[in-house]
Structure 1
């Protein structure tokens, strides 16, 4: 059964950089947690018989704003639709406050403008000309161009399994805008700052527990930025 968080606000209302609740989950032997604003909700929308999520975060208006997913193996297929490398604009990067096992990570923001390529927009399900992505990355990218099909953020955690030594973790949010100017302006919004803070609080470790797939929301006074 899907589980959702029903947090209550702590004594002091959380600021954009001080989320007010913590979500704990386990998927594919990865135990993870992150902090988020108490007015938001986290729900495991994965099938009952499937680990890994997605764990979907919605805001106070019940609008989906981000998601986290753990996968058992690393796999990226080739572009199977209209393909073309397009310019990437990097809009920000902050170090994560947690770790993925023994590794550090960053929260990176990047955008791509497909105003001149309506065919690529349609092929990749874009809602407007510019897609902005903010997400957790194990190795921050500086690639000047990417195919829209592979335009994403990705991190991972090392495991002890010989058949799958890396568990991919995707913790990201995407937005669409009419222009790159509007996308850049979004990075000054309170929602964007809250997303950065939430993603930057991610902690993940490998567990030997056989009870995979459990997820538990908790509330309380989270620690601030380190």
Structure 2
């Protein structure tokens, strides 16, 4: 590396000496051959500059020095993903998706009706029959004779005995005839028992 530097220094010194010598000759003969000498000096100066530039490029290539870029060269565009302006991306994403005015508005979900109190539901239930007579027979057990009000009532239907907005018990319709309708208790009554005039309803479902 030192040898290369010395060689470059010697070449530069020779060029400078030649330039000085030529300039002296130019000053002596400027009165006689000024136009011709001026043209020759310009050519020599251009050649010297070309040689110096070539030597500088060779020196930079050998020594590994990267020459500065010309101002005319366009700036490099970074392709590194880390150089992306994340703040700009966040700002753009915060604007949200464009609103499509042509899309139909979502159908609102139906608001459920307020739940009715259990006693109120029992009181509001329509009467389908009423007890005409309550009987207890040692041979047939407990049963009731009822008067059907709702013609849709069929054998096998379980009805509830409503008393004071409460359920006293349940009867199952077993037979509907022209002479009357019979119903048996689903569970035997012990202390509080059905009586004539009790109303029968279809029990509201538990909420």
Which bin holds the TM-score, normalised by the shorter protein? under 0.3
In terms of Rg, which structure is larger?
Answer: 2
TM-score, scaled relative to structure 1: 0.19
Greater RCO structure (CA 8 Å; 6+ sep): 1
**Higher strand share goes to which structure?**
1
**Higher helix share goes to which structure?**
2
TM-score, scaled relative to structure 2: 0.20
